[in-house]
Structure formats: structure tokens, C-alpha cells
Amino acid sequence: MNIVVLDGHGVNPGDLSWDALRPWGNLTVYPRTAPEHVYERAREADLLLTNKTPLDAALLERLPRLKYIGILATGYNVVDTEAARKQGITVCNIPAYSTASVAQAVFAHLLTIVNRTEHYSRQIRSGRWSASPDFCYWDTPLTELAGKKMGIVGLGHIGQTVARIASAFGMEVYAMTSKSREQLEAGIRKCEWDELLKQCDVISLHCPLTPQTHHLIDAHALQGMKPGAILINTGRGPLVDEEAVADALNRGAIAAYGADVLSEEPPRADNPLLSARGAYLTPHIAWATREARERLLAVCAENIKAFINGTPQNVVNP
């Protein structure tokens, strides 16, 4: 049984071990695989693992030996799951491994914005506090979260965790969700899109990327947002129209955009958010704590074990 990892570096750059996978077959781990090398590296695989390397129908047709694809992530849009199903290939993902880490990143962005942590760190290094005639120094507005309205779009595992943390900060929590009011935890107010945009001081995106949610935040939505609102995106880059968000930031229509994801990754040098005023960006690392990656690899091994034992779990193409 041959197990091939096409792009292991993103999940495990060397600080973790692949040993949990070794009992189940001959393991080969490639740090990265360029498109022109995917077939060559995958053609002898019985089990193929990918994080972001695409596996389309044309490629899968050329891999008759392949019986299992393990996605080293929760999202599985990199694999043509329907083509895999027709070919008898089981596709499994890793759900909910990064919930705590991503929720933590939401508030890392939010606290950086409202407390201006990055700004004051730079000011201190430049000597501004040392030169201050007062015991404290500030030159920007500072904002308290208690009493502010937090709008959450999508109330899955991460959205619910964000809601709990927001409540702990004393925020009022609004949510746009398919869940009924009876299914919501105490303190979460179900609302419609227009109300969420109009009422909320902070909006955090946690919905999946679908044709319906592509550019969910566009120029029209931004126009409907509360003036001076903060937008957080740790979901998917294309949930927002980046040109429109950059324009809103530069005009001061919204106060800030905290994002861990962009529409193209790595970003093009001319991405308007890279130079927009009030854009706080991190390089798709919300999921990447050591603890989350350890959970990911543990579930990956359990997925393989379950598949080999004839009881596959976390299947996304039944």
C-alpha cells in the first residue's frame, strides 16, 4: 500500500512527525508538488494526501490504482469529488481541527485593531513613549469591546466559538445563520442580512465559500454597513470583493479590515488590500498553530485507519 503526500510542508514544515501514517503503508512525503509533477508522483499511489494541490477529473482518470484521497484540511474544493466518486475513490477531509485556533485569530485581529497594538509597539521602538512628558502615551482613539455588537455570518463550529468569546467580552452577538432561533445558544440573536450590516460594529465571516457567498461583502453590502464598522475575515478570501473593501477603507467608510485570507494566495503584489489604509493582514495562519496541526495529523491517521478497516469516516463524496 503506497501512501503519497503531495504537499506536506504547509501542514508539517518539520516540527511534527508523519510517523502515525507509516503503519498503514509505504509513505512518501513531498514538501511541495508543481502541477507538472503531480501525475508522476501520484501514479503509484493507493492513498493520496493533498492540502492545496488540485486533483481534477482529468488527472483522476489517469490514476486507476488510486482508491483514497485524504485532504489535509477541512475545505475540499481542490478535489473533483464527483469525479472521484464515479471512479470509486473515497475522499475524506479533516473537520473541526482548527476551531479554537481560528476563533483565537479572529480576536487577535480584532484586539490589534481596537487596541492598536501594532501601532504602539512601533511607536515605543521609535522612542515616542520615552519622550512623553506623561506616564502614558497615546495618539489614536482606543475602543472598548464591551457593549459593542458583534455580527457573525455562519454559525458552525468556528462561528459558535467566536460567539462565546464575544459574549465573554461583553459584546452583543448577532448571527446570520440557517439554524433556527431554538437552536441558538443563549445570548445569540438571529437576524437577517440587512439588519446585521446596519446594526453591528464588528462583522466576522465564517460561512463557506459557495456561488451564493462569493463576494458576499461587495460595494452594496459595504454601503449598508454601520459607519466605522470593523470587518474580519478568517474564512475564505473571495467572500469579499477586495477592490470594494480597499476602496471603503481608503474612504473611511469602514474602520478596518482584519483578514487571514485573500482571494489569491500568495497575493499578487498589486492586491489593493496590501496598501489600503486600515487593512490588517496575516498570511493564512489562523489554522496553523502547533496544536491544530497535531490534531489534523492525528485525524488524518485515523481516517486512513478507518478506510483500510472498511469503515471510512469524514467522507465528503458518499
Active-site positions?
Answer: 236, 265, 284
Cell numbers for 115: 487596541
Cα end-to-end distance, the chain, whole Å: 23
Separation CA 71–CA 91 (nearest Å): 7
Cell numbers for 120: 504602539
Q: How many CB atoms lie within 10 A of CB 232?
A: 27
In the numeric block, the cell 519622550 is attached to 131
Cell numbers for 98: 482548527
Q: What share of the chain is helix, strand, coil (3-state, %, to 5)?
A: 35, 15, 50
Say if residues 68 and 304 touch (Cβ distance below 8 Å): yes
Candidates 178, 208, 229; CA nearest to 216 is 208
Long-range contacts of 214-217 (CB under 8 A, 24+ apart): 214/238, 214/239, 215/239, 215/240, 215/241, 216/153, 216/240, 217/241, 217/244, 217/245
- Paired residues of 232 in beta bridges: 204, 258
Candidates 101, 48, 90, 38; CA nearest to 72 is 48
Specify burial of residue 231 (Cβ count, 10 A radius: 0-12, 13-18, 19+): buried
Q: One-letter amino acid identity for 228?
A: G
Asked whether the bond before 266 is cis by omega within 30 degrees of 0, the reply is: yes
